[in-house]
Amino acid sequence: MTDALGSIDMPERGRSEDETAESQKKPRRGGKRGKKGPFARLALFYRQVVAELRKVVWPSRSQLSTYTSVVIVFVVIIIGLVTVIDLGINRVVGYVFG
């Protein structure tokens, strides 16, 4: 008996026995990663983090204060906008239900 994909009893067409055997093998852990212990991997991770942090272009003090003030002003504007919308919805709900 067959379904839409082919025979249930037969293996898929187009695959040889070698290909199915290869796909069922466990992947090998090769390279240096498989041989290191947990502390060595942790040390490697730490060294990689430090190397990436050295690549970061840090802002100057004036740039940082400018960015901070822009963020604070934006947050205050959004707080005001949300407050106005909330008060408006509150009055509409009070008028409808109350």
Task: Please give the pLDDT value at position 67.
Answer: 97
The string of pLDDT tens digits covering residues 37-55 is 889 999 999 999 999 999 9
Average pLDDT of the chain is 82
pLDDT-based confidence at residue 71 (cuts at 50, 70, 90): very high
Q: Are 76 and 68 in contact (CB under 8 A)?
A: no
Task: Please give the pLDDT value at position 89.
Answer: 97
Which stretches of the chain are DSSP H helices?
A: 17-24, 38-55, 61-97
- Residue 87 to residue 81: CA distance in whole angstroms: 10
Q: For the chain, what's the residue count?
A: 98
Per-residue pLDDT for 66 more than 80? yes
